[in-house]
Chain A
Amino acid sequence: MKDGVSIELQDVWIRFGDFVAVREANVHIDGGSFFSFLGPSGCGKTTILRSVSGFLDPSEGKILIGGKDMAGIGPNKRPTALIFQNLALFPLMKVWENITFSLEVQGVGKAARRKRADELLDMIALTGQGDKLPSELSGGQKQRVAIARALCAEPDVLLLDEPLSALDLKLRQHMRTELRQIQKRVGITFIYITHDQGEALTMSDSIAVMRHGIIDQISDGEAIYDDPATPFVASFVGENNVFRGKVKSIDNGMAVVATNRTGDLRCRIGTAALGNLQTGDDAMVFIRPEALSIAADATDAGNHIKALVINEEFEGLAYHVFLEGDAGKEIKMSITNQGKARETSMNKELVLEFNPEQAIVLPFGELASE
């Protein structure tokens, strides 16, 4: 068990010619934490990872690992180990040789390497499989070998570049748990790159959400989900019904937004927008499908949305109801399956309501494209 080492990105810019891959990134990663970079493909998260591991130098700014500036230090001299997206297991080497490659290049003798390999194989539950070739292992086994190989180098920081993306759903969910357990056991800092919000939310202590090289928000999972800082985060993480409109009035952290098609909605101003949002600004209201429900009393003073049921999906855990609001506005509502009879049915006119605390208003901005 090692003490985790912190990582610091200070005003990091990374450019490729005219293209800016990372724009003014400032990140502090606590030692021993599980930190994720979450974003769609091409958002610059892999670029950040490669600059931390030393495969490319930032155009501007500093990268500190354990307080030490990493400028000019090559990947083979940094206390980081990277798990590649395609794992990059050496196909011509046996599993145990793969795992102990970092010892081999240090000139450690074969017997000692073999011993260490067996320890690590025990740890990843592949005891006795050391003499196989990587091509003879299953996807999940390869995954674990890649982790063991990275850990064998005893890095202070483990960098993971979407390592689970090639696995099928069941295995992916299993490996999430396993990765988190390994991280807790070894206690070193993990930096995890993913475009899968489920992975980021389930494993991470903190998440940085990125788009177009910009870091939109760094928070823990709950804050990212419940209190997104930008329309992009709100629409990228989880699902949201988006209503565009203008701020009509503001009072005490709450705002009334006159939406284009659905009338006035009253909701909470996002933490990041508090103080920025003024009356008359263009704004967006985000309401999660699970925050919507069928109004018990369609006549009280709360938020009401009238809509027609046009489709229903049953997912086991929940029913997803697709509705059409005024002027064709598409709305999705999720109702937890409680084993009771549903009140919805096709082509039925409903009035929906939501708690103003569970809806968020943010200044107008870019949404994540599906």
Chain B
Amino acid sequence: MKSKGFMTDFFERNGLALGLYLVLAVGFWLVILIILPQLSMLDFSFRHHLPPPEMGGPKDVYTLEHYKFLVLGAQGSDASYNVVDLGVFARTLFAALFVTLLDLALCYPLAYYLGQSNGGGFVRVLVLLLIIPYWVNEILRAFAFRIIFGDSGVINEMLMSMGVIDAPLDFIRENIALYSGLGYAYILLMIFPIYNVIESLDRNQIEAARDMGSPWWRIHWRIVIPYAKPGISSGCTMVFMLSAGALAAPQILGGPSSLWFTQIIYQWFNQGGNWPRGAAYAIVLLSVCIIIVLSMMRLFKVKMGDLGK
């Protein structure tokens, strides 16, 4: 093979029309939809918050103002750090981590059960049942939890009518509603990656381990979990990223005192009207999430290609 340019080769292989379609569609997607908007947002986050007439004017210079604001708070404020926003940020990440672990604990047994069963009619029905909630609107799913956990929700009504409690429990303020709702929203994204991997695990391996007298927890610890690692990390990554970036569930189920970091971003955009600051916060959210995911992947020795299976 002569060493031809990649592009020449590409067009030779695909023909002109198809080649053009591929180049244009992928180019549009990569450049116009993915890369440029992100760069634009990055650039925007370093600019002052100016009224439209002053944009591009002499005052439109780069600044770290918004990042400083996130860390240090408003100038002249008493606290030396922006305790509120940083607190919200940290709580968002921890809560997302908690939701991820919750989902993992909840989903692993089922994924294992589905993956190792023989795929009979019962299992097909279970899989079908799994998919149904996912097709229902995200907002409606959160709304359902509000019906359940509200002051006059099903649980409170039930407990009060049974006389267990006198006054309604505030599940919303305690964030129980929020964690349940978030965990609920991403169950499917945890189950299916794990299920897909476990399904391909040779059943004989488990039989062999059992034959050698291994207790069930050791079978999981030494055989199933190491094998399912790509699926587990794929599921955890998705659930973590989506929980940390969730907006609908915190807005609907979040207590009045517990903001989610995305809600602060949302407020900068829609209420405060300070787009650059919102962009800066979004950049921080994005980069910290990516760092966390990448370091987790390195820690558990999982490759990027394993994601999205």
> In the complex, are there CB atoms of A and B closer than 8 Å?
yes
User: Using a CB–CB distance below 8 Å, which chain A residues touch chain B?
Assistant: 14-16, 56-57, 59, 74
Chain A residues with CB under 8 Å of B1's CB are 14-16, 56-57, 59
Taken together as a complex, chains A and B put the C-alpha atoms of A36 and B1 apart, in Å, by 24
CB-based closest 3 A-B pairs: A56-B1, A57-B1, A57-B2
**B1-40 at interface with A (beta carbon < 8 Å):** 1-2, 12
Chain A residues with CB under 8 Å of B2's CB are 57, 59
Query: What's the minimum C-beta distance from B238 to chain A, rounded to whole angstroms?
Result: 34
9 contacts between A and B (CB under 8 A): A14-B1, A15-B1, A16-B1, A56-B1, A57-B1, A57-B2, A59-B1, A59-B2, A74-B12
Chain B residues with CB under 8 Å of A56's CB are 1
User: Which partner residue on chain B sits nearest A21 by CB separation?
Assistant: B1
Chain A residues with CB under 8 Å of B12's CB are 74
Count of residues in B whose CB is under 8 Å from the partner chain: 3
Chain B residues with CB under 8 Å of A16's CB are 1
Taken together as a complex, chains A and B put the C-alpha atoms of A15 and B12 apart, in Å, by 19
**B74-132 at interface with A (beta carbon < 8 Å):** none
Query: What's the minimum C-beta distance from B18 to chain A, rounded to whole angstroms?
Result: 14
Taken together as a complex, chains A and B put the C-alpha atoms of A268 and B101 apart, in Å, by 79
Q: A14-B1, A57-B1, A74-B12 are in contact. List 6 more A-B contacts (CB 8 A).
A: A15-B1, A16-B1, A56-B1, A57-B2, A59-B1, A59-B2
Query: What's the minimum C-beta distance from A15 to chain B, rounded to whole angstroms?
Result: 7
Query: What's the minimum C-beta distance from B64 to chain A, rounded to whole angstroms?
Result: 48
Taken together as a complex, chains A and B put the C-alpha atoms of A84 and B12 apart, in Å, by 22
Query: What's the minimum C-beta distance from B228 to chain A, rounded to whole angstroms?
Result: 33
Query: What's the minimum C-beta distance from B76 to chain A, rounded to whole angstroms?
Result: 65
User: Which partner residue on chain B sits nearest A60 by CB separation?
Assistant: B2
Taken together as a complex, chains A and B put the C-alpha atoms of A14 and B12 apart, in Å, by 19
Taken together as a complex, chains A and B put the C-alpha atoms of A15 and B3 apart, in Å, by 10
Chain B residues with CB under 8 Å of A74's CB are 12
Taken together as a complex, chains A and B put the C-alpha atoms of A59 and B2 apart, in Å, by 6
**B211-244 at interface with A (beta carbon < 8 Å):** none
Taken together as a complex, chains A and B put the C-alpha atoms of A302 and B44 apart, in Å, by 97
Query: What's the minimum C-beta distance from B168 to chain A, rounded to whole angstroms?
Result: 61
User: Which partner residue on chain A sits nearest B12 by CB separation?
Assistant: A74
User: Which partner residue on chain B sits nearest A74 by CB separation?
Assistant: B12
Chain B residues with CB under 8 Å of A57's CB are 1-2
Chain B residues with CB under 8 Å of A59's CB are 1-2
Query: What's the minimum C-beta distance from A49 to chain B, rounded to whole angstroms?
Result: 15
User: Which partner residue on chain A sits nearest B4 by CB separation?
Assistant: A57
Query: What's the minimum C-beta distance from B22 to chain A, rounded to whole angstroms?
Result: 18
Taken together as a complex, chains A and B put the C-alpha atoms of A218 and B12 apart, in Å, by 35
Query: What's the minimum C-beta distance from A311 to chain B, rounded to whole angstroms?
Result: 36
Query: What's the minimum C-beta distance from A17 to chain B, rounded to whole angstroms?
Result: 9
Taken together as a complex, chains A and B put the C-alpha atoms of A14 and B2 apart, in Å, by 9
Query: What's the minimum C-beta distance from A319 to chain B, rounded to whole angstroms?
Result: 42
Query: What's the minimum C-beta distance from A100 to chain B, rounded to whole angstroms?
Result: 22
Taken together as a complex, chains A and B put the C-alpha atoms of A195 and B12 apart, in Å, by 32
Taken together as a complex, chains A and B put the C-alpha atoms of A226 and B2 apart, in Å, by 40
Query: What's the minimum C-beta distance from B45 to chain A, rounded to whole angstroms?
Result: 44
Chain B residues with CB under 8 Å of A15's CB are 1
Query: What's the minimum C-beta distance from B170 to chain A, rounded to whole angstroms?
Result: 59
User: Which partner residue on chain A sits nearest B2 by CB separation?
Assistant: A57
Taken together as a complex, chains A and B put the C-alpha atoms of A23 and B1 apart, in Å, by 13
**B164-199 at interface with A (beta carbon < 8 Å):** none
Taken together as a complex, chains A and B put the C-alpha atoms of A255 and B266 apart, in Å, by 94
Query: What's the minimum C-beta distance from A106 to chain B, rounded to whole angstroms?
Result: 17
User: Which partner residue on chain B sits nearest A15 by CB separation?
Assistant: B1
Query: What's the minimum C-beta distance from A130 to chain B, rounded to whole angstroms?
Result: 30
Query: What's the minimum C-beta distance from B56 to chain A, rounded to whole angstroms?
Result: 51
User: Which partner residue on chain B sits nearest A56 by CB separation?
Assistant: B1
Query: What's the minimum C-beta distance from A330 to chain B, rounded to whole angstroms?
Result: 39
Taken together as a complex, chains A and B put the C-alpha atoms of A14 and B1 apart, in Å, by 7
Query: What's the minimum C-beta distance from B6 to chain A, rounded to whole angstroms?
Result: 15
Query: What's the minimum C-beta distance from B11 to chain A, rounded to whole angstroms?
Result: 12
Query: What's the minimum C-beta distance from A62 to chain B, rounded to whole angstroms?
Result: 14
Query: What's the minimum C-beta distance from A14 to chain B, rounded to whole angstroms?
Result: 7
Query: What's the minimum C-beta distance from A77 to chain B, rounded to whole angstroms?
Result: 13
Taken together as a complex, chains A and B put the C-alpha atoms of A59 and B1 apart, in Å, by 5
Taken together as a complex, chains A and B put the C-alpha atoms of A56 and B1 apart, in Å, by 7
Query: What's the minimum C-beta distance from A4 to chain B, rounded to whole angstroms?
Result: 29
Taken together as a complex, chains A and B put the C-alpha atoms of A88 and B47 apart, in Å, by 59
Taken together as a complex, chains A and B put the C-alpha atoms of A56 and B12 apart, in Å, by 12
Taken together as a complex, chains A and B put the C-alpha atoms of A70 and B27 apart, in Å, by 35
Taken together as a complex, chains A and B put the C-alpha atoms of A194 and B12 apart, in Å, by 30
Query: What's the minimum C-beta distance from B16 to chain A, rounded to whole angstroms?
Result: 13
Query: What's the minimum C-beta distance from B19 to chain A, rounded to whole angstroms?
Result: 14
Query: What's the minimum C-beta distance from A234 to chain B, rounded to whole angstroms?
Result: 33
